[in-house]
């Protein structure tokens, strides 16, 4: 996400599993800059979010990517990965090889 000259990543969740889960939200930016945030997701049916700290933007939004990973409880090495979701820019007509739509 970007706004006011800052960039950050946010992931929303609703944990109805009955057990606490874990999430890692990673924001990758230009020049190899990475911010990683670990969140505990309480076991309840209320929506929540996990958000990295905001930092000054270094270039445009196309220089950033974000990934959110959700895992089960327990030791990190034994916890099952339940979901991995990442951001991706929509391809431009030039990159996809398709002609640009005209109106």
- Summarize pLDDT for 46-97 with one digit per residue, the tens: 999 999 999 999 888 888 999 999 999 877 778 899 999 998 754 555 555 5
- Summarize pLDDT for 64-76 with one digit per residue, the tens: 999 999 999 877 7
CATH topology of domain 2-96: Immunoglobulin-like (2.60.40)
Joined together, the tokens standing for residue 99 give: 């002609």
DSSP state of 4: T
Domain segments of the chain as ranges: 2-96
Q: Where are the alpha helices (DSSP H) in 47-102?
A: 93-96
Helices (H) and strands (E) in the chain, counts: 1, 9
Is the distance from CB of 75 to CB of 46 less than 8 angstroms?
no
Joined together, the tokens standing for residue 50 give: 């996990």
Q: Is the pLDDT of residue 35 over 50?
A: yes
3-state secondary structure of 60: coil
């Amino acid at each position: 996400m970007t706004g006011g000259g800052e960039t950050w990543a946010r992931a929303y969740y609703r944990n109805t599993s009955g057990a606490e889960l874990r999430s890692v939200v990673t924001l990758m930016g230009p020049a190899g800059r990475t911010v990683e945030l670990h969140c505990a997701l309480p076991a309840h049916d209320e929506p929540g979010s996990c958000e990295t700290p905001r930092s000054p933007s270094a270039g445009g939004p196309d220089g950033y990517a974000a990934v959110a990973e959700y895992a089960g409880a327990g030791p990190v090495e034994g916890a099952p990965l339940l979901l991995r979701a990442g951001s991706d820019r929509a391809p431009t007509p030039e990159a996809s090889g398709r002609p640009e739509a005209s109106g």
